[in-house]
A = this chain, B = another copy of it.
Amino acid sequence: MAEDNSIFIGAKPFMNYVTGVVMQFTTKGAESVVVKARGKFISRAVDVAEVAAKRFLDNAVSVRDIRIDSEEFENKEGRQVRVSTVEITLGKK
């Protein structure tokens, strides 16, 4: 799947992301879309995936795969920090 079918969840208004996912499937004809998030935005990514798939694209799209992982990076203070990540793949049924 092409990387441009990814939607990275952050602090923008919730419906921006839902609309983004829905439009990938409808306007752009994507076969699948990956909803990605890190840290505290993981809960939001699940919300986006659920609302997009169930309320807006009901019976046309479902969860194909969910992966969780961790990333280690150095914060501003030079400390090693671990952050969780999620990738939720939604696909046409």
Contact = CB atoms under 8 A, between A and B. Distances in A.
Q: How many copies does the complex hold?
A: 2
Contacts of A46: 42, 68, 84, 86
B66 A49 contact: no
Contacts of A40: 43
Contacts of A86: 46
A15 to B, nearest CB: 14
B43 A39 contact: yes
A41 to B, nearest CB: 7
Interface string A38-63: 01111100110111001000000001
Specify which of A41, A82, A88 lies most central, judged by the most chain B CB atoms within 10 Å of its CB.
A82
